[in-house]
């Protein structure tokens, strides 16, 4: 990355171990490889808001906060610093645009769930906003009835809410594209619709438009692209949906690489802000000969696990129960899998909302039961349904890429990026012991000392 005209394209996804967020890449054939820790201020396991805040400010905060320390001190995120320095800023995601990861790069909010407040903070700071979350901008859906859509329009933003409108939007100025009231639908649930007929744009569509609008910035730009629904699929232990979202992210990354090959000053960093549920392909059959075939079965899945559970629920009888035969029929139709009678009998109560008493606590819900039953046929196993403390891989290519190599703290990302952009700024910070004074669930003294 070079000072002044550097461009940091950053995106996000939850890969196969499954992680959460990503940054962009240049034309260089060499790629720096590293590993990043993911701890938050109060836990070895981070949530997305604390993870994004660490990247964006160089400071660890508590899970649930966006760039705010436990004592109320407000941090200044890199998106704000970049805009103040004359760079253009973009956020692209398949979640709500106000969700934790995109918010971390621009917003300052004590509670990540206050997405209405976060929506207001983007105005005239972020030039390109593409994703879901229309409910947080629409006066009829906001609790305060504030008409943010009109405010953005009055400020000069081009508003769009369909794929066709996005593709037709001008490639200059500012844009607010909100393509769903909440998160964008899983791609696996959209695949039966012809691309030309889809109302919701793909991550590739949104990334293409974002780069078209930002690439002419005289001072450069900072762009975050997140394949955020990978994380949601991992929480649901939904391997088929997660893989489709990862492939969609790969398509978007191809657009970024094409852009980077045409410029000499684009840095692309691809990483994830945390692990999630740790899926893995287990060995099946004699000498594991059945593993590949089992994994290939995911290609036959027609819908997400949430949709499968909805279909199972439609089979409830007058007593609210789902029969094993009905459960087997649904799995046969949607997944192309023939469930043995015992597995159908295990799944059927979950479809009716009844869960077994003896079950791994991490999987004590309908999605977890469904994943365990399907895992007997796909080979995919999960350690749980929540974030994990894994180190995350970091890949970087472009100017300054070598600074991302090796084992790094997540907070070092901020320093690396601001140095490359010629932005000198240091946010306040707090130790784990200090955070414990505010009633936080901080680390033990020994771990706090090590950190």
| Whole-number Å distance between alpha carbons of 361 and 209 | 43
Domain extent listing, the chain: 7-278+386-446, 280-381
| Whole-number Å distance between alpha carbons of 201 and 225 | 14
| Whole-number Å distance between alpha carbons of 41 and 359 | 31
Output the tens digit of pLDDT for each of the chain's 451 residues.
222 233 345 444 433 333 334 444 334 458 999 999 999 999 999 999 999 999 999 999 999 999 999 999 999 999 999 999 999 999 999 999 999 999 999 999 999 999 999 999 999 999 999 999 999 999 999 999 999 999 999 999 999 999 999 999 999 999 999 999 999 999 999 988 887 788 999 999 999 999 999 998 999 999 999 999 999 999 999 999 999 999 999 999 999 999 999 998 899 999 999 999 999 999 999 999 999 999 999 999 999 999 999 999 999 999 899 999 999 999 999 999 999 999 999 999 988 888 766 556 778 789 999 999 999 999 999 999 999 999 999 999 999 999 999 999 999 999 999 988 889 999 999 999 899 888 755 444 434 444 4
Q: What is the pLDDT of residue 350?
A: 87
Q: Which two tokens stand for residue 393?
A: 């891989």
The answer to whether 28 and 249 are in contact (CB under 8 A) is no
The number of helices, as runs of H, and strands, as runs of E, in the chain is 18, 14
Contacts of 191 (CB under 8 A, 6+ apart): 244, 302
The answer to whether 105 and 77 are in contact (CB under 8 A) is yes
Query: Which of the residues are catalytic?
Result: 48
Q: Which two tokens stand for residue 429?
A: 């910070």
Alpha helices in 58-147 (DSSP H): 78-84, 100-104, 115-121
**CA dist 18 → 32, 389, 406 (Å):** 21, 11, 20
Q: What is the pLDDT of residue 399?
A: 92
Q: What is the pLDDT of residue 343?
A: 95
β partners of residue 157: 174
What number of other Cβ atoms are within 10 A of residue 387's Cβ? 28
| Whole-number Å distance between alpha carbons of 210 and 205 | 9
Residue with tokens 């974030």: 387
The answer to whether 395 and 31 are in contact (CB under 8 A) is yes
| Whole-number Å distance between alpha carbons of 189 and 307 | 8
**CA dist 366 → 313, 358, 369, 385, 387 (Å):** 11, 14, 5, 12, 18
CATH number of 7-278+386-446: 3.40.720.10
φ, ψ (nearest 5 deg) of residue 298:
-60, -25
Number of residues that make up the chain? 451
Alpha helices in 90-144 (DSSP H): 100-104, 115-121
Q: What is the DSSP string of 374-410?
A: HHHHH-EE-S-SSEE---EEEEEESTTGGGG-EEE-T
């Amino acid at each position: 990355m070079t000072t002044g005209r550097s461009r940091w394209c950053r995106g996000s996804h939850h890969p196969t171990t499954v992680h959460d967020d990503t940054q962009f890449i240049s034309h260089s054939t060499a790629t720096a490889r590293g590993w990043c820790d993911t701890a938050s201020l109060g836990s070895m396991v981070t949530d997305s808001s604390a993870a994004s805040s660490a990247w964006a400010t160089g400071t660890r905060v508590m899970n649930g906060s966006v760039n705010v320390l436990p004592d109320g001190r407000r941090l200044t995120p890199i998106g704000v610093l970049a805009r103040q320095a004359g760079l253009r800023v973009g956020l692209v995601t398949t979640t709500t645009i106000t969700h934790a990861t995109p918010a971390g790069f621009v917003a300052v909010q004590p509670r990540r769930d206050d997405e209405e407040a976060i929506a207001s903070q983007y105005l005239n700071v972020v030039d390109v906003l593409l994703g879901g979350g229309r409910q947080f901008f629409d006066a009829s859906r906001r609790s305060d009835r504030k008409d943010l859509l009109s405010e953005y329009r009055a400020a000069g933003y081009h508003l769009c809410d369909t794929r066709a409108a996005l593709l037709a939007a001008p490639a200059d100025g500012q844009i607010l594209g909100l393509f769903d009231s909440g998160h964008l639908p899983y791609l696996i649930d959209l695949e039966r619709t012809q691309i030309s007929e889809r109302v919701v744009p793909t991550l590739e569509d949104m990334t293409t438009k974002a780069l078209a609008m930002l690439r002419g910035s005289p001072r450069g730009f900072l762009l975050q692209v997140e394949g955020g629904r990978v994380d949601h699929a991992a929480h649901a232990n939904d391997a088929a949906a997660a893989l489709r979202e990862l492939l969609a992210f790969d398509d978007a990354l191809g657009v970024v690489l094409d852009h980077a090959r045409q410029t000499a000053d684009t840095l692309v960093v691809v990483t994830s802000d945390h692990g999630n549920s740790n899926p893995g392909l287990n060995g099946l059959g004699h000498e594991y000969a059945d593993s590949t075939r089992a994994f290939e079965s995911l290609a036959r899945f027609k819908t997400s696990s949430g949709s499968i559970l909805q279909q199972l629920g439609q089979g409830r009888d007058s007593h609210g129960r789902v029969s094993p035969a009905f459960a087997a029929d649904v799995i046969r139709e949607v997944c192309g899998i023939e469930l043995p009678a015992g597995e159908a009998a295990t799944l059927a109560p979950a479809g009716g909302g009844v869960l077994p008493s003896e079950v791994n606590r991490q999987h004590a819900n309908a999605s977890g039961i469904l994943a365990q039953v399907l895992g007997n046929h796909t080979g995919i196993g999960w350690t749980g349904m929540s974030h994990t403390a894994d180190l995350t891989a970091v890949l970087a290519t472009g100017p300054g890429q070598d600074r991302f190599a090796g084992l790094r703290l997540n907070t070092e990302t901020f320093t690396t990026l601001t140095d490359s952009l010629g932005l000198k700024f240091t946010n306040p910070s707090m130790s784990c012991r200090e955070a414990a004074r505010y009633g936080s669930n901080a680390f033990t003294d020994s771990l706090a000392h090590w950190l």
